[in-house]
Amino acid sequence: MSIDHDPTTVRLPSDLTDVSITPSATSSTPSAITSAGTSAPSHAAASATAPAVEARFRAASEDRRRTAAVEIVVPVYNEEAALEGSVRTLHDYLADRFPLPWLITIADNASTDGTWPIAAALHADLPEVQALRLTEKGRGRALRAAWSQSPAPVVAYMDVDLSTDLDALLPLVAPLLSGHSDVAIGTRLAATSRCTRGPKREAISRTYNLILRTALHSGFSDAQCGFKAVRRDAVRDLLPLVEDQGWFFDTELLVLAEHNGLRIHEVPVDWVDDPDSRVDIVRTATDDLKGVSRMIRRFARNQGWIERRPSTSPDVASLPVASPGGTAGAPAGGSSDLGGQLVRFASVGTASTLLFAALFAAFYGPLGAVAATVAALAVSSVANTAAHRRVTFAQRGRAGRRRHWAGGAALSLLPLGVCLAGLGVAAIAGITSTIGLLVVLTVANLLASVVRFAGLRRSMAG
């Protein structure tokens, strides 16, 4: 297979799953695309197995790639204004204050402005900087491609705006290099974190992480912080399981890591919001909710398990073994203790109440109080029953599913009746404002929740 050496043009499988770009023995440019653990296929063979997308990769020297302990990926899309300043700031920090050998990889996912020429110029000027360009968009796709080809024991990424204080980088990667942990994340939601951002983004972030905790029973605190690191052996086992190619990519990777019993280390960070952020919040939130729904379905089908134990490498400790019957190093999900169920029931109830309130507020104007209540309860009850089945009572798979859903549907009539009675009381009292009605309906739902918990526990855990 011939490769243009400057710039390097290679062909990657379109799903970019578990592939690596191997430097040749005679140059600093990649000479072959190989599946992990196999010999390099021919161009024709690679094209026969999957559609290909063109990628350009300008690698650092072979010696630098071989000795790097950490590779830091900076995924970018149309960042010509910020790219050079941010990469030079990161480069200077690492050169002056980071004690381990390192690499920086700029991963350009199909920018349409001057991002790629700037990335190529940085590669030419700074020997520790690599540049990778993909012809398809997607932050997850860019991270997958860069991490798959990395020779470093630990791979990391950070957002190009450098919102996170770089002093958190060494605490982030140290537990991974020692073998203590498998994944490390920065968190803006710890008590000791210092975070500067507007109330809108704060509310969105906390709501999203609450949804993850209630719907997927996640234990990590901040899925969205653009400051993460993973051990190489862990990432190569997890990448084939990750389906998303966009913004949900790192949330999915974290959920799958936790699902398989891998240890996740959290580092409180100092973080300053980027006022120039161009993330489409509505579209990203919609895609994230779709991703959460997809993960719930996967886990209900008992999927998402690492299929093999990775080989032990000299630079990191081996991963724990996970199996469909349980997860290594993680508590069993089927605990039936009353205290734990009450805590999880309350968590799911909080998320359901927020969902109900948002739906009622949206429906009240065009539909009126009664119809808005019925519609909001119908939607939130479905989500509530699914979350209680999966999270509160740890029920998965097909066994008893019809009985569980039938019981949940029947029990939904109770809060409906109480809420309609509450609307009657509100009408007599002359309460017509959205907030006033929401207070009445929230109290009504709380009154019904005691009976609902007992009924769900009898149906799903009995």
CB distance 150 to 71 below 8 Å: yes
Q: Closest Cα partner for 68 from 39, 105, 32, 109? A: 105
Q: Give every strand in the sheet of 154-158, ordered side by side.
A: 9-13, 52-58, 129-134, 102-109, 70-76, 154-158, 227-231, 183-187, 264-268
- Cα–Cα distance for residue pair 102/104, rounded to 1 Å: 7
Check whether the bond before 7 is cis (ω within 30° of 0): yes
For residue 180, count other CB atoms closer than 10 A to its CB.
12
Is residue 48 exposed (0-12), middle (13-18) or buried (19+ Cβ within 10 Å)? Answer: exposed
- Cα–Cα distance for residue pair 457/250, rounded to 1 Å: 34
Q: Which amino acid is at 305?
A: W
Element (H, E) at 155: strand 154-158
- Cα–Cα distance for residue pair 102/70, rounded to 1 Å: 5
Q: Closest Cα partner for 331 from 389, 385, 394, 388? A: 394
CB distance 392 to 346 below 8 Å: no
For the question of residue 250 being annotated catalytic, the response is yes
Strand, helix or coil for residue 148:
helix
Q: Which of 159, 222, 244, 250 is labelled catalytic?
A: 250
Residues forming the active site:
250
